[in-house]
Amino acid sequence: MTAAIKTVELRKEYKDTVAVAGLDLEVYEGELFSLLGVNGAGKTTTIKMLSTLTAPTGGEAYIFGHPVTKEGDKVKELIDISTQETSIARKLTVGENIDFYTALNCLEGEEASRMKEYVYSAFGLDSVKNKRADKLSGGWQRKLSIALALISKPKLLFLDEPTLGLDVISRRELWKTIGSLKGKMTVILTTHYMEEAEALSDRIGIMKDGRLLFTGTKEELFSLTRKNSVEEGFISVVTGGQDNE
């Protein structure tokens, strides 16, 4: 299998704090991979390094074979990201946001029309096309944010805590949207909800205190935790007891 992401001893320090400590991770092309852990586990810092938003203190990360520290411009051509802060123009309507991002990515004519048709259809945005973004619910804002990230046609999409702060119904609706992306591109999802990682992921990586404790399928994770009497309550401890609604 082709590696979409490979990290080698990836590390990030902030003064006296080690946010990510020697991360060795491999994510395969086309899979939906979840980084699971509580706030402060190092998930967002990892995403920021992989997406070239912050430079590593040590080690290296490769995106489709391109080192992020040396070929950042090439990496940016292959990725996009939907952050926790919901990257949308709040004073513009949904339609104006989509038109703006289409132009920003230099899409014109039939190509632009096809992309607009796709994001409207895939995310059900037609019904809110003329609404200003700041008047949308949290769930609709997250949908719009992800839709905008897809306009650049990334090979690798980062979704950083996409359902954070949403109610249960909105979260489940967004799961369907995220699930529809599986197989179309590589998706990296960060979350602190065990149930979310279980529902969406091909594989799960569990982080705690900047370290990767486990990588595998949900079946492998549950088999490990059932057998491991030393790490009693492993999932609950790592995810902060937030594995259920």
- Confidence band, pLDDT 50/70/90 cuts, at residue 232: very low
Greatest extent of the chain over all pairs of C-alpha atoms, in Å: 61
Residue 34 phi/psi, 5-degree rounding, is -105, 130
Residue type, 129: K
| pLDDT, tens digit (0-9, with 9 covering 90-100), for 35-71 | 999 888 999 999 999 999 999 999 999 999 999 999 9
Residues facing residue 157 across a β-bridge: 80, 187
Please determine, for residue 238, whether its predicted confidence score (pLDDT) is greater than 70. no
Lowest pLDDT segment from 4-13, 186-195, 232-241? 232-241
Please determine, for residue 233, whether its predicted confidence score (pLDDT) is greater than 90. no
**What average pLDDT does the chain have?**
89
Predicted confidence at residue 231, as pLDDT, reads: 44
| pLDDT, tens digit (0-9, with 9 covering 90-100), for 196-228 | 999 999 999 999 999 999 999 988 888 876 655
SS3 21: strand
Output the CA angle 119-91-125, nearest 5 degrees.
20
**One CATH from 3.30.1370.100, 3.40.50.300, 3.40.50.150, 3.40.630.30 for 3-238:** 3.40.50.300
Predicted confidence at residue 236, as pLDDT, reads: 55
Closest to 206 (Cα-Cα) out of 15, 23, 3:
23
Q: Which residue has the tokens 């902060």?
A: 240
Closest to 89 (Cα-Cα) out of 144, 139, 39:
144
Please determine, for residue 105, whether its predicted confidence score (pLDDT) is greater than 70. yes
Residue type, 25: L
Predicted confidence at residue 85, as pLDDT, reads: 66
| pLDDT, tens digit (0-9, with 9 covering 90-100), for 161-198 | 988 888 888 888 889 989 989 889 999 999 988 899 99
| pLDDT, tens digit (0-9, with 9 covering 90-100), for 65-84 | 999 999 999 999 999 998 86
Predicted confidence at residue 241, as pLDDT, reads: 52
